Every structure is written in structure tokens, then in C-alpha cells.
Structure 1
């Protein structure tokens, strides 16, 4: 019995033979079919086996031999998807295998694909074909076998991973007629059998006939979910059924039980095969939902699940655990950074193919990788689309700006970090820092005596993190003019500016001499950290300052803290003098010229910001590990310079926002000492 149904184009995995690649003719051999038997699935019927006959009389090679297209991942809606074609006349069947020769296009955007084919990286291809006639048989105890005895291969595609042959129909598209010939069925007397190009014959009279219906359901190409509608082909090959006699009550009850069992088993079977929750099927059974309504609800549930988790027929497996798009983006960014500073950013192997390309050429490349056809677009249109599209070009610019800003920020000398302590703030509220005094001294405990309680003295300082920022716009004119400096030097200058701002805030505390929580200035005679009479930087003066720091007491004014300075801080005018003082004087000319070891252990810090306040004043500072001095804070998660980019709204281009969340405060005066100088 023959049945006419409609089928979409189908896909099957095939094999590329990279060892047959000819670099001169740009050709490579493809084994487009070996006729293997594969499993196909339907939604509301049993699965079946499909076999492609490779009898030369059963395969229509006209379309392949006419120069069928060699596509990129079965794309059929753009000319850029054509990356080659089948060499006319090369499609043939040899030793039970379908073989053809493919010639690769000479377009620039196809060149990377051709190189990967030659290197053997791309091996998987997939063919698209149409079946015009199936011979269907069913071995005893086995699945139905659908053997294609009239079919047409019409395209070959390069794919990252070969299509799973068991996945069924892989693409949505126009349908074509296909004849199903069942060899184990006989046409009934009086019925008209159907042939390849015929439709079912209608009954001669108006009496409804018994129609045999077959449903073939294809998984959706994008989500893998069944399509919402099924393709049904009806045959009217059955003779008219006689009018049944009225059944008795027992027959009616038996039929009802059988119908109920069929309804329940069908619902559970469908839900299980589509990986739906059993509770969903149980609810349908308990509600008495009929089979037609259950099918509709099951399809709705599958569609809802497919929206939550989308799957794709061709999966890209990143080499080395990295996505191809990220690898390409980093390579382009490295090429731009190397162009900006070859000494700071070494050119990586992956970035060599982008070396020498202008910004506009890279923008066109990014659009092409995103599937945007840039052929015929002006320079202005390319720049506009690259900055305002889903291509990775804005991300590339963001990587470049961030790295240049971070490099310049870290390279700027911030001298305060040696004697100050860094902390992280969780928010922008005021932070209260307790200035702990000395621990209470231990007292002797007599026999059977009790331990006496002591208290900690404390004083409180407070400050908070502030936000500093600026926005600069880079327009499409910058991209058209290939002005790389806008994406590199401007962020680098921002990096310097941020580091300078941090230094200004911290050193401003030293030069401004702000009031502490007790109402006295940071450097004050009451705090015993300010020399009464200024003295030039010399061994005697430094010795007197060291002694003053060692005699500092706790908040109880009694406990001696014995603070040891670790840093000698001077303005730029005294930098050479400070270095000479701490230098190792191996053979002093006189005893009076000997510099004590305690002074030579000081680390000199020269800061030009101190010259504006005084070119003669010098300072000593203790290590922050011994006692608090000045504390500086970043907002947690935003340490140091932070930059953001976005597509411009007020300007036609990209906006770069630079931000710093930073604050600083002198916590304790006892770790610092100042001498006004001569």
C-alpha cells in the first residue's frame, strides 16, 4: 500500500577527508554518504530505522553534479554562507559510498576555514537531502525499516560537530511529497492504490470511509522540542465499513475499559518519552483528560520547557576549554595593544593574523563574525554598526581600554603605600577606627589572690570612602580615522590621573596637618611628634626624632610604647641628602662621619608633593605593622581604577567612564614625627 505524506529536508552526518586537500586547486574530497542505518524518532508513534539506498538507480545526483553549494552550517538565507561548491560531475557512488569533490571559495573571509580544513581541524560535514519514496517493511519483533529508494542530496555543509543522525529531521523548511510503500500491507478490494505522484482516491459515494492516518513529527531545529503541529497523511484505501449492529452492555463495558487503559498508557508513555514530570502525567490521568486534549497540553508543556533551556543542533566545542569567540576577541585586543606599545604587550601567536589591520578593518571583521553582511557598506555605516550592534567589537575596545588604564595606573609611583595601611570598605557610610591604647599592665597575683580587672584606653577617628569619576566619549569619527590613541592613550592618561588623585589625597593629610579626634593637629606639641625647633636633616637631628618616637606613651600617659621608625620621608629637595645619610659608609674619613646602623636601616621615601608645603621639613614614620599611621580604603570589589564602556546615547560612539572609590585618614599620630627643618 502506498501513502503520500509531506516531509521537510533532512540532514545526515558525513565525513570530510582533509588528506585529499589540494592547495593549488583548492579542492577536497567529501564522503557524503555511506548508507548507514540510523534511528529516527516521531512524537506520537514508534521510532523507526532509516536507510539510504546507494543503488545508483535510487539516488538522484543531478543537483550535486550541477554544482550544489558547499555551505557553512546549513545556512540558506545569506550569500555569505556559501563557502564553496561541488565540482560539477564529481558526485558519484563507488563501493557503496557517495563521494564528491568540493572546491573552496577564494574569498578572504573563507580563507581561515580553508586553512582549518587543510590542517584537519574541520572534519565534520553534513548533507541535506530529500526523500521522494520510502519502502517500508517491519521485520518480526523489530522496528519498522524505512528504506529510501528514491532520494536527492542537494547541499553539503561544513559543521563544527556532525549532526546526530538519531535526532530526526534537523531543519524547518519547505516540505516535499514523499511516497511510503508498505510491502506488508495489501490494498483492499475496491480501493485505488496511490503511486509516486498521486493523491488518495476519494470514495465514490458520500458515505464516510475508514481513513488510516500516519503522523510524522519532527523535532524543532532550534530547540530540539517537537513542533506544535504534526504532519498527517490520510489514505482512503479501506473499503466502506458495514454499519455495526448495536452492541450489548458487556461489549460496551469492555470497550470502555480498553479505551481507558489506552488513554492512561498513552499519556504516561508520551510524558515519559518527552522527559516530563510524572506528576504532570498523573494530573492529566486523574482529570480524565482525553487523548487529543492531553497531546495538546503535553506539547504546550514541552514548548514551555524548551523556552527555559534552549539546545542547538550544532554544538561548538571550544579548544582548550575556551570559547572561540573569546579567543578571537582576546587575539584582536592583543594585536591592538601590541600596536600601542610593543614593549609592554608582546604579540601572541593568535594575534598575528590581525597585525597591521586598521580599526575599521577590525570592525568589519567583527561584524562578519557576528553574521552581519558588510559588503557594500560605507566606512561610516561599518563604524556605526560595529559600535551599536551585537558584534564583539565594543567588547574588544573595552578590553583594550581596561588593560591600558590598569597598566598606566600600576606603573605610576605611589610612595605612600609603604608606610600606610590599606583596608576595604563595604559601603559609603562613615567608618570608625578605634585608636587602641596600651594593654593594662599585669599585676602580681598573690597566693589565693584574685585577678584584678583592667581596661583598654581608646580614641576614635572616622572617615568614609568618596567617589571620583569622569566620562569621555569616543565617536565613530575616531574609528573611521583609525585613531588608536583614543582607545589607548586616553585610558592610560586616566590611569595616571587616578594614581595621582590617590597620592594627592594621602599626602594632603601630611601637608594639611588636619585635626584629630582630640581637637589637636596631627603634628602638634601636645602629641609629642613635632620638633620644637627646626633642624636640618642630619644624624643628630634624626637621632633626636627617633628618641622622641621611642618615648611615646599610651593613652594613659604612662606606658612607654618604644616605637621604632622605619621610613625617612623627605621632599624632593632633600632626596639626595637622605640617600647619602642611609648609604653604607664603609670607610668613613672621621669618627664623626660614621652613620649609626639604626639610621642606615631607615628606608628613604622622596615625595615632591611635600616641596610645595616646605622644601626643608622632613618626617619619620613607623611601619603600619607596629602601629597605625595613615589608613586608606577602597570600596570592596572596586579596588583601584575601574572603567566601564557603553554604547553612546548622547553621542554617536562609545562612552568610557572612569571611576575611583577611595578615602584616607590619619588614624594615630604616635607613628609619625615631623621636623620643620632648618
Structure 2
């Protein structure tokens, strides 16, 4: 790396340290973080010194040391006097050079952080004092200001290679990096040679390696955090996972709410819902406003768990140039993660276990269970909507519930389309007006309910708009919905290995926003 690149990389790491402290409550740096920050600053100073030396050399060698003065004979008084007169001039030149160096270093440091250096140069501050002042400002604001990192050719090459591998694997890439098409036909061995040659390895030696030897060489690069080849594999896997995860046709995300938790602890008992404010009371003339103490009800606890797998690129896959592991294998795991959430959500509805109040989710006590099951019809849909709209909140107040989704198993979609989009009641001899005509309800059909029920009756559900009543919530660690991929360094394992994992939890926030009809057995046509 060039001195400029080393300097920019160190500045980026400094910014990451400060950003982490800011995200953690804008705290001060720990002793370890401060030591890391200071080490990085020394790297920045060393790189800057190299840059200054190079710039002086380009300017014509003004920074080169001058030849030492000739020795002055002690016995010649004229020469001795001349030397004595020249000594102050040499001291003045040295002082002037030191001042120019101080000013240049301060201006360079301030320029990196977009700070005006005028006052620091004028008041005689040393470079260490300026650096300390900038660090104090970073602590107060939470992050350094104006740090710009220039992308080098290595970053650009990694982007091109990542997009090339994805396109070769059949994954659609929107706006691929310039030059990605040129790398699309490269085998894994050829890509490894290209990466190693860019790191300074002899190309002729690399070309003489057979695929097995190249695989061993790249495996050693796997543990180097700056190596290009494993970084390209990481980026390809991550981009593929996000794309394939989002393409999984699950339905839970269409009606559940999304939450975020910062850790794996069970949420504290101090989460409450406040209500029971009562009515506004008439205040007579010269009357007194009467206080009302709000009532509180404890909300259910929420908790996250971690789910994951591990996968690897084997030696045989590399030698056979099989890039399926880059997209297909991690993509299948990503799909499995999303499908697992889908099954857990609908399993929660189907199994109807006890919730935070010790009562089953769907129960007569909750007023959200239809006693006699049947398939969706005009009458049964109206009945479940009206029952839902008669719910009251925790404090006995009426709730304005807006039904928004009807969740059904496979087999009812077409009948529901007729029920909700026919102007007249189907089968009526009097052409009665259909009250559900264009009723604003989304039909959500899921085969998971069919699979859970097997040969038994298959239930269906009515779900409210979350703004009017809560029901099921899926929480993620810090709101991250897609799986995380981490390169796994396992000694003794032959091959490239990665972990893929996702943190989530499913909670019933309230029973009032969802109602159940036990349904009936669906007979296949």
C-alpha cells in the first residue's frame, strides 16, 4: 500500500472506533480503544511523514540535507570570526525550517478532518496539541468530521470480481461494476492467480501451480484479513444471500409487525401500556380540575434466539471449479432461515399455546375465537369481523379495530375472490347487495397451515391493522432481517468455511388484534 492508502486506512479504523463508542451511548473510549486509536494515529503520522518527504522530493529536492560546512582552522582569526557570524544564520534557518514543518504538518492534519488550522498555526500549538484537540472534539461530537477515504484499485477489483462471480453463478446483478464482464469467464484458479499477483507474487510461479497447489496457497490467504481472494468470496456470498433471502415467497412479513432488540436478554418487566384515562369531566364556573391517575398494564416479555448453520467450500469444489457453493449453498441456508420464521409464526397460531396472561392465544376469555368452525363465507367473515370489533382494551375502553388481512390455507383463495369482489350475494335469488363487495381486506394464503393441519380441520384467521390493535411481532437483533455471514477460522479444517446465522424472536404482543375460525377439513378436488 502507498503511504496515502495506509494513512486513509488507519483514519477509517479510527472512525470505526469512535463510531462504536458513539453507538454505545456516546461513551468515552475504553483504555484498549484509546490504545488502538493512538497506535493508528502513529501510523497516520508515519505515513504523513513519508508523504511530506515525497512531496519535497517532487518539489526539487528542497528537503534534501545540505552539505556539512568545511572545517575552520582554529589558528585563523579571520575565518574564526566568519564562522561565528554564520552560526546564528544557521540557527535561524533551522528554526524557520522547523516552523515550516510544524505549520505544514498541522495544516495536513486539519485538512484530513476538515478543520480550520489558522488558529493552531498562529498560536504556536504543537502537532501533539492539535491532535489532542481534534480527539477531544471527536469525543464530544461522536465521530470525526470530514474524513474521506479514497477507493483504491484493490477495492475496485474486488467489486468487479464479486459481480463477475455472481453473474457466472446465474445471480442477477443490477448495475454490475465496470469491468465485471471481462472477469466473468475466469475460473476460481485464474481468479486466485490474479489476486495473488496483485499482492506482489510472481506470476510465472503462480502459473506453474496446479489447482491443488493453488488451493493450498489460497487457504493460507484465508487467514489474512487484507487478502483479496477470501474477501471476494465473502462479498459474493453476502450479496447472494441478501438477494435470495428477499426472494423467498413467505407471507408472515405481510401482516406481522417488525421489532428490534439490542441484546438477547428477556425484555424487562417495566414495559407497560398506559391507559384508563377516563372521560374529560365538566368543569363548572369557578370549578376545580380533578386529577386522574393513569392505569398501567404489563406488556408481554420478548426475547431473541440465534439460529444458524455452517458451510464450506471443499478442496474438490475448488479443483472442479464448482462455484455453486458461493450462491446456491448459502442461498439455500438463507431461504431456510426465512422459511423457519414463517413456520414458527404460523405454528404459533395453529398450536394456540398459552401466552403472557396464562390463557391460550385464542380462547373464549379473549373473545377472539369462533365456537363452530366453517370455511370462509360471507356470513362467517362478517361474524368474525364483528366479533373482533367488539373487543375492549386492557382498561375496558372500546377499541376502533380495523380488520386488514384474512389468513387462509390453500384452497380458499378463489372462493374469497368471488366473495370480496361480487356486487351481489352469490346464490341469492333476490340479487341482494353484497356488503363485502370491495371490502378492504388483503387475502393472505399460506400452505404452511395445510401442512400443520394434515388431515384435520384447517383454521383461518382475521388480522387487524397494527395501528388499531397489536397481535404478532417478529423481533430482530438491532433490526437486521437478513442472515449474517462470518468467515470461520477453524484450525485443522481442510477448506474455506463460513458461519451463517440470524437472530430473531416471535412474541404475542396482544390477542385483540387477531381472531380465529377453527375452519373445517379441506377435501382435495
The TM-score, its normalising length taken from structure 1, stands at: 0.55
The match for 1:551 is 390
Indicate conservation of the 8 Å contact 2:369/2:515, yes or no: yes
* Match in the other structure for 2:285: 447
Q: Indicate whether 1:535 and 2:362 are aligned.
A: no
| 1:568 aligned onto 2:395 | no
Tell me the alpha carbon deviations over residues 475-508 of structure 1, each in whole angstroms, 9 at most, x when there is no partner.
3432221011011101110110111122123223
> Within 1, Cα distance between the matches of 2:105 and 2:242?
55
Please name the residue that 1:160 is paired with.
none
Q: SS where residue 496 of structure 2 aligns?
A: strand
- Structure 1 residues 507-549: Cα deviation after superposition (integer angstroms, max 9, x where no partner): 2321232323322111111111111222332211221111111
User: What pairs with 1:297-336 in structure 2 (closer than 5 Å)?
Assistant: 322-336=151-165
Measured at CA, do residues 242 and 564 of structure 1 come closer, stay the same or move farther in structure 2, by a change above 3 Å?
closer
Partners of 1:400 and 1:615 lie apart in 2 by 45
Cα offset for 1:444? Answer: 2.3
In structure 2, C-alpha distance between the alignment counterparts of 1:481 and 1:639, rounded to whole Å: 34
Q: Deviations over 1:539-589 (max 9, x none)?
A: 1122111111111112233x2224231111112243443333323457955
Distance 1:426 1:574 in 2: 40
Deviates more, 1:469-478 or 1:436-445: 436-445
CA offsets 1:152-203 (integer angstroms, 9 cap, x no match): xxxxxxxxxxx96853799xxxxxxxxxxxxxxxxxxxxxxxxxxxxxxxxx
Q: CA deviation at 1:621?
A: 0.7
Q: Which residues of 2 match residues 117-196 of structure 1 at below 5 A?
A: 166-167=57-58
The answer to whether the 8 A contact 2:419-2:436 is kept is no
Q: Secondary structure at the match of 1:443?
A: coil
CA distance in 1, matches of 2:258, 2:354: 21
Shift in alpha-carbon separation, 1:387–1:596, aligned structure 2, 3 A: farther
Decide whether the 8 Å contact of 2:419 with 2:437 is kept in 1: no
CA, structure 1 residues 270+458, in 2 after alignment: closer, same or farther (shift >3 Å)? Answer: same
Residue 397 (1) aligns with residue 233 (2): yes
Contact 1:647 1:653 in 2 (8 A): no
Q: So what's the TM-score if we normalise by structure 2?
A: 0.69
Give how far 1:263 is off.
Answer: 7.2
- Asked if structure 1 preserves the Cα contact closer than 8 Å seen for 2:311 and 2:330, the reply is no
Q: Distance in 2 between matches of 1:653 and 1:275?
A: 52
Match of residue 382 from structure 1: 214
For the pair 1:488 / 2:320, whether they are aligned, the reply is: no
Q: What is the rounded CA distance, in whole Å, between the counterparts of 2:296 and 2:489 in structure 1? A: 55
d(CA) in 1 for partners of 2:431, 2:266: 51
List alignment gaps of at least 5 residues for structure 2: 3-53, 107-126, 132-148, 521-525
Give the secondary-structure state (helix, strand or coil) at the position aligned to 1:511.
Answer: helix
Which residue of structure 2 aligns with residue 407 of structure 1?
243
SS of residue paired to 2:102: coil
- Structure with larger RCO (C-alpha < 8 A, sep 6+): 2
- 1:479 is the counterpart of 2:318: yes
1:633 CA drift (Å): 1.1
Residues 422, 631 of structure 1: 8 Å contact kept: yes
Secondary structure (helix, strand or coil) at the match of 1:449 reads: coil
CA separation of 1:413 and 1:566: change in aligned 2, threshold 3 A: same
**Structure-2 separation of matches of 1:594 and 1:617:** 28
CA distance in 1, matches of 2:352, 2:501: 27
Q: 2:96 aligns with which of 262, 269, 294?
A: 269
CA contact (8 A) 1:402 1:643 kept: yes
Structure 2 residue 298 is the aligned partner of structure 1 residue 459: yes
Checking the alignment, whether the CA contact within 8 Å between 1:528 and 1:548 is kept in structure 2 is: yes
Q: Which residue of 2 aligns with 1:226?
A: none
SS in 2 for 1:600: coil
Q: Find the counterpart in structure 2 of residue 662 from structure 1.
A: 504
Contact conserved, 2:195 with 2:229, CA < 8 A, in 1? yes
Asked if the contact 2:401–2:465 (Cα under 8 Å) also holds between the matched residues in 1, the reply is no
Larger Rg: 1
Give the direction of change, closer, same or farther, for the CA distance of 1:615–1:369 in structure 2 (3 Å limit).
farther
Map 1:632-671 → 2, pairs under 5 A:
632-636=474-478, 638-646=480-488, 648-671=490-513
Aligned counterpart, 2:39: none
Q: 1:269 to 1:564 in 2, by over 3 A?
A: closer
Query: Which structure has the highest helix share of the two?
Result: 2
2:242 is equivalent to residue 431 of structure 1: no
Map 1:331-370 onto structure 2 (within 5 A): 331-341=160-170, 343=172, 350-370=179-199
Q: Equivalents in 1 of 2:258, 2:342: separation in Å?
A: 13
1:273 offset after TM fit, Å?
4.1
- The residue that corresponds to 2:134 in the other structure is none
**1 CA distance for matches of 2:191 and 2:296?**
65
**Counterpart in 2 of 1:212?**
none
8 Å CA contact retained: 1:564, 1:622: yes
Q: Give secondary structure in 2 for the equivalent of 1:617.
A: strand
Compared with structure 1, are the counterparts of its residues 404 and 262 closer, same or farther at alpha carbon in structure 2 (3 Å cutoff)?
same
Which of 465, 470, 480 is equivalent to 1:628? 470
Change (3 A) 1:436 1:217: closer
- Is the 2:257–2:472 contact (alpha carbons within 8 Å) kept by the matching residues of 1? yes
Given the superposition, is the C-alpha separation of residues 497 and 167 from structure 1 closer, same or farther in structure 2, using an over 3 Å criterion? same
Judged with a 3 Å threshold, the aligned counterparts in structure 2 of structure 1 residues 405 and 509 are, in CA distance, closer, same or farther, namely same
Secondary structure of 1:274's match? helix
Cα distance in 2, alignment partners of residues 518 and 587 from structure 1: 41
Q: How far, CA to CA, are the matches of 2:333 and 2:432 in structure 1?
A: 47
